[in-house]
Amino acid sequence: MGKTADKANRQATEQAAARVPEPLIGIAMVNRCGVMGQITRSTMLNIGEGVLGSELPGTVLGPDHIYRDGEKLAKIPPAFMFAVTASTVHVYQVKFAMGNVKIKDEITTFDRAGIQLGSQEDTLVITYRMAAPQQRLEMMFEVLKCDYARDVGTLIRSGTPITL
């Protein structure tokens, strides 16, 4: 990883550790579904986007929203991050500027107990569907296809930190 990415990762880790109520296991920077496709479409044509089914009966999950039972769909920003602890996955808005990262508002929190994480690999991205059925909470996100993308799934499922 480059110096700028190392700095941003360090900043995000420090900020997340100060916000979560228990020790931080790790963070992951991810994108709303379709963002990476929009970027790569400028140089390539006919890139398909996978869709994963919902685990919550009777829900229709858009690729750019978080489903919360009984509430209006919440729009997800193009880029956001997860701060993972032993018991929760916190979802935060982030802002990148001039090589720096700033954690903004918390979007939602998933309980890790019983969390379900499905994935689908495309040519360029891995699309994940994360659900906490006991909370009736669900969202989709994507990461550019690489070892880091697979490590995001491992971090959420088992709490194994991402090594850069």
Sorted by where each begins, the domain ranges of the chain are: 3-158
Q: Which of 83, 71, 84, 79 is nearest to 138 (CA)?
A: 71
Query: In this predicted structure, what is the pLDDT of residue 40?
Result: 42
What is the per-residue burial (b if ≥16 Cβ within 10 Å, else e) of 48-60? Answer: eebebebebeeee
Query: In this predicted structure, what is the pLDDT of residue 20?
Result: 95
Query: In this predicted structure, what is the pLDDT of residue 111?
Result: 93
Low-confidence ranges of the chain (pLDDT < 50): 38-60
Query: In this predicted structure, what is the pLDDT of residue 126?
Result: 87
CB atoms within 10 A of CB 80: 20
Query: In this predicted structure, what is the pLDDT of residue 87?
Result: 94
Query: In this predicted structure, what is the pLDDT of residue 7?
Result: 86
Give pTM, 2 decimals: 0.79
CB contact at 8 A, 73 and 100: no
Query: In this predicted structure, what is the pLDDT of residue 47?
Result: 28
**3-state DSSP assignment of residue 20:** coil
Query: In this predicted structure, what is the pLDDT of residue 142?
Result: 86
The span from the CA of 137 to the CA of 115, in Å, is 10
Query: In this predicted structure, what is the pLDDT of residue 11?
Result: 92
Q: At the top level of CATH, which class does the domain 3-158 belong to?
A: mainly beta
- CA dihedral sign, ordered 128, 133, 134, 140: positive
What is the per-residue burial (b if ≥16 Cβ within 10 Å, else e) of 123-158? Answer: ebbbbbbbbbeebebbbbbbbebeebbebbbebbee
